């Protein structure tokens, strides 16, 4: 090879390295430049933070054990390491998610009214954005389950994976329900302001008194279901009031202090379970359906979020900080729907590997001690990397459909596969 050729190859390699180095910089600058000046970066940042807490919580507080046949079964470190419960207070950020959801929904609803869209048209668009990713993940799982079974993945493992996939999807159904109530939430905020959230938390308090109070033995178990709607609508209503400018900093201070005091009282005086997520084997749970403790935490988180809004907005003016927030928000439903699949995939591969210890620490070993948490932390980047890979191929389910495209038959097939997955996951098919 001539000196000229070597020099030319070296120059091209140098240009490639320079291009790779500058490409992320250009992408970050392009994202920042394309952001409208009126965009509320703080709200997007809060949404991204609350969203990332979901996979982090599931990955850190959800483990597996291997049965005698090598199949995966769900387990939780909270069953053995109870003093980790305060970690769930940080990772349970659904209050913030519903807060910013209400804020964003009321702004979207107002813009649709300005454009002359009907309430039905606005709601149809919101439901489509929620429904497409759910249909996508359940249809893909419906197609993969028989294939994986034929390839040797135990049926018990597949049911474990199906349970993991369904776990975050309950949130989508509840969120769709409260979104459908947005026009009524706007009307309530207009009439009562921040006080419109008081009947919701009062309802939850009354139901909790009935199911945990002195007459609990005489109360039917289904009564707890009455907490589902007001429990999750509480923070959403606060968000609507915030978006309608009916929630001031003074209100936020009351929410922060009052929520923190109520949270402490419920834990220390009234004996509520410390964990914000369900613990296998425990008779009481705070989140399904939400107890008053969840609303107390949500109130404190909402107050803190509103008070920190300006500071968060200043931080997010930095393009390098803002760009990841945009990417996360654009992939919100993809992250929600597929993060459990990423963890399960790695664990399934781990269950097929023969380890000198019999199990792989932090992956297929029993989550029964603090060393498991240390080992699991090392697996989080692996889960995250696989989730990024999955998102590159599944993000299309979240992207808007092009008008005029015929999707009747693909949608029908996806519906059949999704129904089959639901039947399998719920135990209707053996």
Say if CB 239 and CB 99 are below 8 A apart: yes
At residue 402, the pLDDT reads: 59
In terms of pLDDT, which residue wins out, 216 or 19? 216
User: The tokens 């609507």 sit on which residue?
Assistant: 240
Nearest to 346 by CA among 364, 322, 320, 368: 364
Which range is least confidently modeled, 200-214, 322-336, 357-371, 382-396?
A: 357-371
90-113 CB burial, b ≥16 within 10 A, e <16: ebbbbbbbbbbbbbbbbbbbeebe
Whole-Å CA distances, 239 to 1, 89, 248: 67, 20, 12
In terms of pLDDT, which residue wins out, 81 or 268? 268
Separation between Cα atoms, residue 110 and residue 372, nearest integer Å: 49
Say if CB 417 and CB 138 are below 8 A apart: yes
Mean per-residue pLDDT, 69-97: 86
**Which two structure tokens, joined as six digits, stand for 315?**
């931080």
Geometric angle at alpha carbon 340, from 337 and 343, rounded to 5°: 145
The 8-class DSSP code of residue 35 comes to S
Say if CB 290 and CB 232 are below 8 A apart: yes
pLDDT at 108 exceeding the cut of 80: yes
Which range is least confidently modeled, 101-110, 216-225, 250-259?
A: 216-225
Please give the backbone phi and psi of residue 392, each rounded to the nearest 5 degrees, phi first.
-60, -30
Separation between Cα atoms, residue 31 and residue 46, nearest integer Å: 18
User: The tokens 């921040």 sit on which residue?
Assistant: 194
Burial of 42 (0-12, 13-18, 19+ CB in 10 A): buried
Instruction: Kindly give, in sequence order, each residue whose CB lies less than 8 Å from that of residue 228, ignoring residues fewer than 6 positions away.
Output: 174, 289, 290
Nearest to 266 by CA among 203, 207, 333, 208: 208
Separation between Cα atoms, residue 123 and residue 285, nearest integer Å: 32
What are the helix and strand counts (H, E) for the chain?
A: 16, 2
Domain ranges in the chain?
A: 52-401
- 164-212 pLDDT, tens digit each: 999 888 888 999 999 999 999 999 999 999 999 999 999 999 999 999 9
Separation between Cα atoms, residue 160 and residue 179, nearest integer Å: 30
Please give the backbone phi and psi of residue 295, each rounded to the nearest 5 degrees, phi first.
-70, -35
The H-or-E segment that residue 268 falls in is helix 249-268
72-75 and 63-66 beta bridge pairing:
antiparallel
- 339-360 pLDDT, tens digit each: 999 999 999 999 887 655 578 9
| Alpha-carbon torsion (139, 59, 56, 20), positive or negative | negative
Say if CB 174 and CB 168 are below 8 A apart: no
Which range is least confidently modeled, 233-242, 288-297, 407-416?
A: 407-416
**3 state SS of 286:** coil
What's the mean per-residue pLDDT of the chain? Answer: 88
**Which two structure tokens, joined as six digits, stand for 389?**
């890979």
pLDDT at 332 exceeding the cut of 70: yes
Confidence grade of residue 277 (pLDDT, cut at 50, 70, 90): confident
Instruction: Kindly give, in sequence order, each residue whose CB lies less than 8 Å from that of residue 352, ignoring residues fewer than 6 positions away.
Output: none
**Which two structure tokens, joined as six digits, stand for 417?**
């596969």
**Which two structure tokens, joined as six digits, stand for 170?**
């309950």
pLDDT at 428 exceeding the cut of 70: no
Torsion of CA 102, 106, 112, 117, to 10 degrees: 80
Mean per-residue pLDDT, 61-87: 86
pLDDT at 373 exceeding the cut of 80: yes
Mean per-residue pLDDT, 109-127: 91
DSSP labels for 372-391?
HHHHHHHHHHHHHHHHHHHH
At residue 17, the pLDDT reads: 40
pLDDT at 19 exceeding the cut of 50: no
| Alpha-carbon torsion (236, 171, 89, 310), positive or negative | negative
Say if CB 168 and CB 287 are below 8 A apart: no
């Amino acid at each position: 090879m001539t000196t000229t050729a070597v020099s030319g190859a070296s120059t091209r390699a140098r240009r490639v390295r320079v291009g790779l180095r500058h490409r992320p910089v250009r992408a970050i600058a392009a994202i920042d430049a394309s952001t409208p000046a009126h965009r509320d970066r703080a709200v997007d940042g809060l949404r991204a933070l609350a969203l990332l807490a979901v996979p982090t919580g599931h990955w850190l507080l959800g483990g597996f054990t291997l049965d005698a046949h090598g199949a995966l079964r769900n387990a939780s470190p909270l069953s053995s390491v109870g003093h980790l419960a305060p970690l769930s207070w940080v990772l349970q950020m659904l209050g913030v998610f519903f807060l910013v959801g209400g804020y964003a929904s009321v702004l979207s609803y107002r813009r649709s009214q300005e454009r002359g869209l009907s309430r039905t048209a606005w709601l149809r668009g919101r439901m489509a954005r929620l429904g497409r990713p759910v249909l996508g993940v359940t249809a893909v799982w419906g197609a993969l389950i028989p294939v994986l079974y034929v390839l040797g993945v135990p049926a018990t493992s597949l049911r474990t994976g199906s349970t993991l996939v369904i776990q975050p999807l309950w949130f989508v159904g509840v969120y769709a329900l409260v979104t459908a109530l947005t026009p009524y939430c706007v009307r309530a905020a207009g009439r009562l302001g921040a006080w419109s959230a008081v009947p919701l938390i009062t309802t939850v308090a009354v139901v909790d008194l009935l199911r945990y109070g002195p007459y609990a033995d005489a109360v039917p178990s289904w009564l707890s279901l009455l907490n589902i709607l007001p429990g999750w609508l509480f923070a959403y209503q606060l968000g609507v009031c915030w978006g309608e400018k009916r929630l001031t900093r003074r209100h936020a201070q009351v929410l922060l202090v009052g929520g923190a005091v109520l949270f402490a009282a419920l834990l220390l005086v009234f004996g509520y379970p410390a964990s914000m997520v369900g613990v296998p084997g425990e008779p009481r749970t705070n989140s399904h359906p939400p107890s008053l403790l969840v609303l107390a935490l949500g109130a404190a988180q909402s107050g803190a979020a509103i008070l920190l809004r300006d500071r968060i907005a200043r931080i997010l003016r930095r393009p390098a900080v803002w760009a990841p927030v945009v990417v996360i928000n654009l992939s919100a439903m993809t992250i929600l729907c597929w993060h459990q699949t990423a963890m399960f995939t790695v664990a399934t591969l781990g269950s097929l590997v023969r380890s000198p210890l019999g199990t792989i620490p932090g992956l297929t070993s029993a989550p029964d001690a603090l060393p498991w948490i240390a080992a699991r932390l090392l697996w989080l980047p692996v889960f995250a990397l696989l989730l990024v890979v999955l998102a590159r191929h599944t993000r299309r389910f979240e992207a808007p459909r092009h008008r005029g495209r015929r999707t009747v038959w693909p949608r029908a097939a996806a519906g059949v596969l999704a129904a089959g997955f639901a039947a399998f996951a719920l135990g209707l098919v053996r």
